[in-house]
Chains A and B, each alone.
Chain A
Amino acid sequence: MAPIVKVDDLRKVYKGGFEALSGVSLSIEEGEILALLGPNGAGKTTLISALCGITTPTGGSATIGGHDIVTGYRAARAMIGLVPQELALEPFEKVINTVRFSRGLFGKSNDPDLIERILRQLSLWDKRNSRIRELSGGMKRRVLIAKALCHEPRVLFLDEPTAGVDVELRRDMWQVVEGLKAQGVTIILTTHYIEEAEAIADRVAVINKGEILLVENKADLMARMGRKTLRIDLSEPLDRVPEALKDYDLELAGDGEALKYHYDTRGDGTGITRLLQALAKEGLSLRDIETRQSSLEEIFVGLVHEDTP
């Protein structure tokens, strides 16, 4: 099946010469959740803005559902919903009116049942007749999401959707995202919260300085790049790592109550068996053992760091 979003060598050079996108290529399959990770100024928002028609790309091309974003902008944009990073809302308008307005803008006739369903799902129904300016920041974020969903997009762009929102909204958001995924909606999200990407994304793309550094299945990425840590809790604390265990590159943690051992799952052998035997030989008694996979964040920081000389 053809990808629902196809970006081909997309470029954007702003007036003044700043190159925000330097040839981005990306394919996104229908129904998947792609997390776009990158530091500030990496080009995440520019990429989304270009795909949504807010900025004009200076080179390359992109299609949404097979429709070119420039020549077939009407069909392409009709499929898109966008939740922007900024809380851009008309302060004097009522919640329900601004949501209806969005639906109309996208060429759809009013559908009170659908709008009620969306507002209820986002806990906004009770606030439907409130003016936007009376709402808290988190509530405004919900309104933006409602506006993006009310015209039933097939592709949803979430630009930093949970920046500065409370735990409750974040939980609601993930419920909404799960519901949309079940309906086959494709979701592209940018985020600073890597645990967010880790929790819900199917694939992860890392962008830095206007270039895609990698796009990979999240699980593969973590398996491929993942270093694991073995934490060994000791019954009796140690002052220092015993001489006989020097070769294992152990790290003393928790006031000497634990030892940390880093290993790579890609290696031929992890060395765990040997280490445990050595520990037994030293006469150390173990209270607990725990292994931990390095998080996406560590991988991400490593990647971006490598890229920055």
Chain B
Amino acid sequence: MNLHAIQAIYIYEMKRFFRTIMESLLSPVISTSLYFVVFGAAIGSRIEQVEGVPYGAFIVPGLIMLSVMTQAISNASFGIYFPKFIGTIFELLSAPINFLEIVIGYVGAAATKALLIGVVILITANFFVDLDIQHPVAMLAFLVMICLSFSLFGFIIGIWAENFQQLQLIPLLVITPLVFLGGSFYSISMLPPAWQTVTLFNPVVYLISGFRWSFFGTADVAIGYSLAAIAVFFALCLAAVWLIFKTGYRIKS
């Protein structure tokens, strides 16, 4: 294991994050605050409670998920796309490192950034609503797994993308709708039965449901399904990344 290489990539990537620390952290804080103003105060005052939880608090897990997923994807995809774009990828390819080390470095850094942003949002949310996290360890475990698997997913997008438009395509067309329709701001039980069934095909439902369970102890789907969903997604991403490096897809000619 080339630990120095992993460390080098990780530190290099984190430096990029800290170079733009204000932008990196300020925008999630502001957008979270806006969500609270709009959903929590304006709309939330008309919705009493969802499954026994005040609406303002109910949307916190969904809000964190939304930011964490998009941030993990954009950080990881940009992290590996940028070297491809400017040509510095040659150095990664010519260094004595294997795919696992490259992935640990890039995905580890992207996941760390996403995790930091998630924690910052959680702290921000605390200023707006009272939060009593029932399963803090499970909450943290869920958050870490989501950060890791979506960073892996972002890494795949970064490898696949051949231009900046493609880099934005999947997050915009797939992830954001899935998160919004995945019960970030409502409970599945509030939907008509037919839509409830459709919603169950959205994998993000399971992630948000599980994460919400760690906060309030209530969930749309059984926690076992949520755990299985995140495990399967993580495994799929890992397999895809392994295949990419095995075949040199879009990195090696």
Taking CB atoms and an 8 Å cut-off, the chain A residues in 44-76 that contact chain B are: 52-56, 73-76
A contact residues around B7 at 8 Å (CB): 104
Contacting pair A88 B95 (CB below 8 A): no
Taking CB atoms and an 8 Å cut-off, the chain B residues in 70-99 that contact chain A are: 82-83, 86-88, 90-98
Q: Which residue of B lies closest to A147 (CB)?
A: B91
How near does chain B come to A157, taking the closest CB pair, in angstroms?
Answer: 9
B contact residues around A90 at 8 Å (CB): 82-83, 86, 88
A245 within 8 A of B: no
Contacting pair A54 B8 (CB below 8 A): no
A contact residues around B253 at 8 Å (CB): 14-15, 54-56
A contact residues around B19 at 8 Å (CB): 92
Contacting pair A105 B88 (CB below 8 A): no
Q: Once the chains are docked, how many angstroms separate the CA of A181 from the CA of B115?
A: 49
A25 within 8 A of B: no
Contacting pair B88 A54 (CB below 8 A): no
B178 within 8 A of A: no
Contacting pair B96 A91 (CB below 8 A): no
Contacting pair A106 B248 (CB below 8 A): no
Contacting pair A109 B88 (CB below 8 A): no
Q: Which residue of B lies closest to A12 (CB)?
A: B253
- For A52, A105, A106, which residue has the most chain B Cβ atoms within 10 angstroms? A105
A contact residues around B3 at 8 Å (CB): 107
A86 within 8 A of B: yes
User: For this complex, into which size category does the number of interface residues on chain B fall?
Assistant: 20 to 34
Knowing A55-B253, A101-B12 are in contact, say whether A78-B90 is a contact too (CB < 8 A).
no
User: For this complex, into which size category does the number of interface residues on chain A fall?
Assistant: 35 or more
Q: Which residue of A lies closest to B97 (CB)?
A: A105
Task: For B4, give its contact among A52, A56, A109 (CB under 8 Å).
Answer: A109
Mark each residue of chain A from 271 to 283: 1 if its CB lies under 8 Å from any CB of chain B, else 0: 0000000000000
Q: Which residue of A lies closest to B95 (CB)?
A: A105
Knowing A54-B93, A106-B95 are in contact, say whether A86-B87 is a contact too (CB < 8 A).
yes
Q: Once the chains are docked, how many angstroms separate the CA of A15 from the CA of B98?
A: 24
A120 within 8 A of B: no
B contact residues around A101 at 8 Å (CB): 8-9, 11-12
B2 within 8 A of A: yes
B contact residues around A108 at 8 Å (CB): 4
Mark each residue of chain B from 1 to 33: 1 if its CB lies under 8 Å from any CB of chain A, else 0: 011110111011001100100000000000000
Q: Once the chains are docked, how many angstroms separate the CA of A52 from the CA of B4?
A: 20
How near does chain B come to A46, taking the closest CB pair, in angstroms?
Answer: 9
Contacting pair A105 B92 (CB below 8 A): yes
Where chain B touches its partner, the secondary structure class is: helix
B252 within 8 A of A: yes
Contacting pair B94 A107 (CB below 8 A): no
A contact residues around B248 at 8 Å (CB): 56
Q: Once the chains are docked, how many angstroms separate the CA of A49 from the CA of B126?
A: 54
A97 within 8 A of B: yes
How near does chain B come to A73, taking the closest CB pair, in angstroms?
Answer: 7
Q: Which residue of B lies closest to A151 (CB)?
A: B95
Contacting pair B94 A82 (CB below 8 A): yes
Taking CB atoms and an 8 Å cut-off, the chain A residues in 135-156 that contact chain B are: 147
How near does chain B come to A91, taking the closest CB pair, in angstroms?
Answer: 7
A102 within 8 A of B: yes
Q: Once the chains are docked, how many angstroms separate the CA of A158 from the CA of B87?
A: 17
- For A14, A101, A108, which residue has the most chain B Cβ atoms within 10 angstroms? A101
A contact residues around B92 at 8 Å (CB): 105
Q: Once the chains are docked, how many angstroms separate the CA of A91 from the CA of B97?
A: 24
A contact residues around B83 at 8 Å (CB): 90
Knowing A88-B88, A90-B82, A101-B12 are in contact, say whether A80-B94 is a contact too (CB < 8 A).
yes
Q: Once the chains are docked, how many angstroms separate the CA of A161 from the CA of B52?
A: 69
Contacting pair A105 B90 (CB below 8 A): no
- For A15, A53, A55, A84, which residue has the most chain B Cβ atoms within 10 angstroms? A53
A54-B94, A104-B9, A107-B4 known; 10 other A-B pairs, CB under 8 Å?
A14-B253, A52-B94, A53-B93, A54-B252, A54-B253, A74-B98, A75-B96, A82-B91, A102-B91, A108-B4
